[in-house]
Structure 1
Amino acid sequence: MTTPAPHLVGNFAPVVDELTSHDLPVTGSVPRGLTGWYLRNGPNPHEAASAHWFLGSGMVHGVRLEAGRATSYRNRWVRNSTFTDDAMVYDELGNRDLTAGASNTSVVRHAGRVLALSESTLPYLLTPELDTAGAHDFGGKLRTAMTAHPKTCPTTGELHFFGCGMLTAPYLTYHRTNAAGELTVSRDITGVGSTMMHDFALTAEHVVFMDLPVVFDVERAISGLPMPYRWDPSYAARLGVLRRDDPHGEVRWFDIDPCYVFHVPNAHDEGDGIVLSVIRYPELWRTDSGEAYPVASLWRWTVNLTTGKVTEEQLDDRNTEFPRIDDRLAGLDARHVHTVVAASHPRHDPVPGALLRYDMHTGSVTEHTFGPGRIPSEAAFAPADDRPGGEGWLMTFVYDASTDKSDLVIVDAGDLGAPPVATIHLPQRVPYGFHGSWLPDPGTRVGDVGRR
């Protein structure tokens, strides 16, 4: 008898039903001003099998909130060309199909469009009912894949992102849209290898790329390994800095200690430099590509643009991931970073689930624990007022091993030690996944949300 892979059992296993359920039961009180959707994307292989956790077909889970009620839950697969037609990212001749991939990593909204994202594909448009409306290539202008971690500038409304290639140079292309969602900048960045670039950083004045020593290995790909990347100690780790006011200008490179970073909480300009917060791994996939995950913790990098040096500082030693901020402060000096303590990969042992709130100004950390057998996912921030960085809530799907179901839990971001404000009980479990967003209805005034 074959033992199922770790990413196909427990709460990593896919769910098989697409449901629509109404009038969800709630313990506590949903804040009355929260009207919109909480959406989260993650892998959910539609044939109940995949070679790696990262490769399962994307499924978006959504909970609808309206004026103090949890009115519905809905989950739908992202029906991209791989899902519908078994399309491959690369064919036998090496030709790339930008509509093919998993579409399983994040879901965001920009210029009125809701996009399901993963870094191997074009974005896919979702309807308000979470049905798939097709690939979105920005009117034929986007000719690369799109990162799952685009950044929206809160000042200009521009969307910044990048696309990566694996087989042929250029391996990195920087893109920018205006606030209306029209692609206005696409420029190739030369001198970069075929590395696994998952995230980047944005400030008011700069874009920062992370060129790190996890590289594409064609021999692994040919041999059929599900994750064709490996640690390369000979590949230098560095940060590339591009001025936003000169998007086709010089990219300056700054050496850092070897490491890997999946996620950047935020970055901002400060004096003659740039300050980044990152969730840093000391290395990744040195001996067992796609499976071995060392401890990741919160670090600060300070780039001195005058001296060319980067100061690297560990802020905490706790194993944590999936950082989020108040997105209205993206690229600015956001005081608080929220992260998750949980089993972040199927080969990690379960740990007591918690949310952490880091005060980046004082260094203090507060914690919300969920109790035995209750494991949270990434927590998105929902504002309670019009002040960026002000009061608000954290929303996270929490799996309960005792019931084999999941809840959407809402906690007060400013009082993590308090019990949850609301626990919304879902009709089925939500498998562990990746990234999501709180999407208030268009026209909703944040100041109307209130504390209750």
Structure 2
Amino acid sequence: MTRKPYLTGHYEPAVDEITATELTVEGSLPPELTGRLLRNGHNPKPGVTPTHWFKGSGMVHGIRLNGGRAEWYRNRWVHTPALDGAPYMTEYGPDLTASTAGTHVIEHGGRLLALCEANLPFELSRDLDTVGAYDFDGKLRTAMTAHPKTDPVTGELHFFGSSPLPPFLTYYVADAEGGITHSAEIPGATASLKHDFALTRRHVVFIEGTVTFDPNEHSGIPYAWSDDQPARIGVMPRGADGAAHIRWFPIEPGNMLHAANAYEDGRGRIVLEGPTVDREGFRLSWNWWVGAPGRGAEPNTRSYTRRWTIDLSAGSVREEVIDDLAVEFPTLNEDFLGVEHRYQYAVSFPDQDGLGGYGVVKYDRTTGSRQLLEVGDARLPSEAVFVPAAGATREDDGYLLTVVSDLKQEASRLLVLDASDLGQVAAVHLPRRVTAGIHGSWIPDSAPDAGRG
């Protein structure tokens, strides 16, 4: 029997948990890189074959940097009920603790949280041991998106919970200490798949694509492309009564998993960007995610960066594809989240014909230029996390951290790249080939008690 593609190659799961110390470093690690790079991804236990890549149990990989040294690497499964086979759906309804917890890992209010959009967060200790499900002291009554946004000015955490059943969308705000201060059900939302959203200084921007809940879809998870599902952007003013004033704008059919950023421009229009797939792009990715016969393509093919400009006064949306390179996992200097930014980064993928390769991409939105760092044959970089340099004065004055899986060497390295030119600053040799994953975070030591216990 052919093995599922998400269990082979770069995605072949690690079979155990290890800890290694005093890792070999090439070059010189900048001293301001004092903290932990954490990265999450789907990694089912040996002998388990999930029906969809997204259903594999989460494993968090961590690398501790301190004073120019790479002190340790460790990897740990997130020990949720689902890791031991507990079902998500029970006779009493969904079990929000039966999570893969394999999409993202963040820090907020002194807690490390492993996230999966269909479930509650799971809290981790500093050493990545599982503490347990976390519901914000009982105030989180829905699942939580894997893509919360931290306001760089207030420190607030904005997030949502989505459901295939009413209420379809609930919006939350937690203060900088981690207490939920606001929640609201969002009128007009549908069962469309909502994976990410965007935050500007004045608005919350929700995205509903052409992929929606489908109980008849049994090949992996119950979502499918539907021409009857209108694609829309919802724009809601920030504030206590914002939900009452949300406006929905129709857009072209497509599906966007990850927003790069959104902001209000000089004319008050909202600009939103992110990689988006059309019907064929979604079909190809879905076939890979479920391991369908004749898949014939890598995931994220036909995933092209799209820009929407929303004129609230005119009630109109201008939509355009701004690049023809297949990319995913957009990132930026998070100090510019919600305001106009010049630079953004992404990971490139081969197209549907297998042309092109994996790499790290830098976009200059002012000049329209694109810089591509190809990482080499049989190598796959992870999402590039931006870390500001000490005393930074420019937007791209900092570093990109990406873990590169090398199939030929059966090894991985953490690359530290200069964000201004993608030049290599340093590399940390890791004790194993790290399974290709999804999202992660840099947790500086300045974060308050990030990961207790």
**TM-score of the pair, normalised by structure 1:** 0.92
AA paired with 1:334? Answer: H
Q: Structure 1 stretch 291-300 or stretch 103-112: which is displaced more?
A: 291-300
Q: Which residue does the alignment assign to 1:447?
A: none
Q: Which residue does the alignment assign to 2:418?
A: 412
Q: Is the 8 A contact 1:89 1:120 kept in 2?
A: no
Q: How does 1:268-279 map to 2 (within 5 A)?
A: 268-270=263-265, 271-279=267-275
Q: Is the 8 A contact 1:230 1:285 kept in 2?
A: no
Q: Which residue does the alignment assign to 1:256?
A: 251
Q: Distance in 2 between matches of 1:308 and 1:414?
A: 38
Give CA-to-partner distance per residue, 1:369-422, whole Å, 9 cap, x none: 222222211110011035472410100110112111111111101012x3x111
Q: Distance in 2 between matches of 1:396 and 1:320?
A: 15
- Cα 1:285–1:228, aligned 2, differ >3 Å: closer, same or farther? farther
* 1:435 positional shift: 0.3
Give CA-to-partner distance per residue, 1:176-196, whole Å, 9 cap, x none: 111111111111113322111
Q: Is the 8 A contact 2:396 2:419 kept in 1?
A: no
- Cα 1:155–1:288, aligned 2, differ >3 Å: closer, same or farther? closer
Give CA-to-partner distance per residue, 1:2-35, whole Å, 9 cap, x none: 2211111122111112010001011211112210
AA paired with 2:64? Answer: R
Q: 1:249 aligns to what SS in structure 2?
A: helix
Q: Distance in 1 between matches of 2:90 and 2:356?
A: 41
User: What percent of counterpart residues are identical?
Assistant: 44
Give CA-to-partner distance per residue, 1:267-324, whole Å, 9 cap, x none: 1112221011111112354599554754111121110000111111211100111100
AA paired with 1:383? Answer: P
Q: Which residue does the alignment assign to 1:228?
A: 222
Q: Is the 8 A contact 1:230 1:286 kept in 2?
A: no
- Cα 1:349–1:79, aligned 2, differ >3 Å: closer, same or farther? farther
* 1:63 positional shift: 0.5
Q: Is the 8 A contact 1:103 1:124 kept in 2?
A: yes
Q: How does 1:27-46 map to 2 (within 5 A)?
A: 27-46=26-45
- Cα 1:369–1:241, aligned 2, differ >3 Å: closer, same or farther? same
Q: Structure 1 stretch 209-218 or stretch 370-379: which is displaced more?
A: 370-379
- 2:118 pairs, out of 117, 120, 124, with 120
Q: 1:429 aligns to what SS in structure 2?
A: coil
Q: Distance in 1 between matches of 2:401 and 2:355?
A: 21
- Cα 1:227–1:325, aligned 2, differ >3 Å: closer, same or farther? same
AA paired with 1:50? Answer: P
Q: Does 1:76 align with 2:76?
A: yes
- 1:330 pairs, out of 337, 341, 361, with 337
Q: Which residue does the alignment assign to 2:405?
A: 399
AA paired with 2:133? Answer: A
Q: Which residue does the alignment assign to 1:450?
A: none
Q: Which residue does the alignment assign to 2:292?
A: none
Q: Which residue does the alignment assign to 2:436?
A: 432
- Cα 1:288–1:355, aligned 2, differ >3 Å: closer, same or farther? closer
Q: Is the 8 A contact 1:28 1:421 kept in 2?
A: yes
* 1:249 positional shift: 2.3
Q: Distance in 2 between matches of 1:88 and 1:182?
A: 29
* 1:343 positional shift: 5.7
Q: Distance in 2 between matches of 1:106 and 1:218?
A: 26
Q: Which residue does the alignment assign to 2:104?
A: 106
Q: Distance in 2 between matches of 1:108 and 1:442?
A: 14
Q: Is the 8 A contact 1:342 1:376 kept in 2?
A: no
AA paired with 2:246? Answer: V
Q: Structure 1: where are the runs of 5+ without partners?
A: 445-452
Q: Is the 8 A contact 2:192 2:229 kept in 1?
A: no
Q: Which residue does the alignment assign to 2:11?
A: 12
Q: How does 1:112-261 map to 2 (within 5 A)?
A: 112-166=110-164, 168-220=165-217, 224-245=218-239, 246-261=241-256
Q: Structure 1 stretch 110-119 or stretch 369-378: which is displaced more?
A: 369-378
- 1:373 pairs, out of 378, 382, 387, with 378
- Cα 1:6–1:195, aligned 2, differ >3 Å: closer, same or farther? same
**TM-score of the pair, normalised by structure 2:** 0.91
* 1:258 positional shift: 0.8
Q: Is the 8 A contact 2:405 2:434 kept in 1?
A: yes
Q: Distance in 1 between matches of 2:54 and 2:408?
A: 26
- Cα 1:288–1:371, aligned 2, differ >3 Å: closer, same or farther? closer
Q: Structure 1 stretch 382-391 or stretch 117-126: which is displaced more?
A: 382-391
Q: Which residue does the alignment assign to 1:60?
A: 60
Q: Structure 1 stretch 242-251 or stretch 401-410: which is displaced more?
A: 242-251
Q: What is the root-mean-square deviation in Å for CA atoms of aligned residues?
A: 2.0
Q: Is the 8 A contact 2:380 2:436 kept in 1?
A: no
Q: 1:4 aligns to what SS in structure 2?
A: coil
Q: Distance in 2 between matches of 1:393 and 1:297?
A: 25
Q: Is the 8 A contact 1:227 1:289 kept in 2?
A: no
* 1:361 positional shift: 1.8
Q: How does 1:261-410 map to 2 (within 5 A)?
A: 261-270=256-265, 271-283=267-279, 285=282, 289=286, 291=288, 294-342=301-349, 349=354, 351-387=356-392, 389-410=395-416
Q: Distance in 1 between matches of 2:345 and 2:286?
A: 28
AA paired with 2:231? Answer: A
Q: Is the 8 A contact 1:201 1:266 kept in 2?
A: yes
Q: Is the 8 A contact 2:255 2:282 kept in 1?
A: no
Q: Distance in 2 between matches of 1:287 and 1:193?
A: 25
Q: Which residue does the alignment assign to 2:427?
A: 423
- Cα 1:17–1:350, aligned 2, differ >3 Å: closer, same or farther? farther
* 1:226 positional shift: 1.3
Q: Is the 8 A contact 2:401 2:417 kept in 1?
A: yes
* 1:353 positional shift: 2.2
AA paired with 2:440? Answer: G
Q: Distance in 1 between matches of 2:287 and 2:159?
A: 25
The number of aligned residues is 433
Q: Distance in 2 between matches of 1:205 and 1:355?
A: 31
AA paired with 2:229? Answer: Y
Q: Is the 8 A contact 1:88 1:101 kept in 2?
A: no
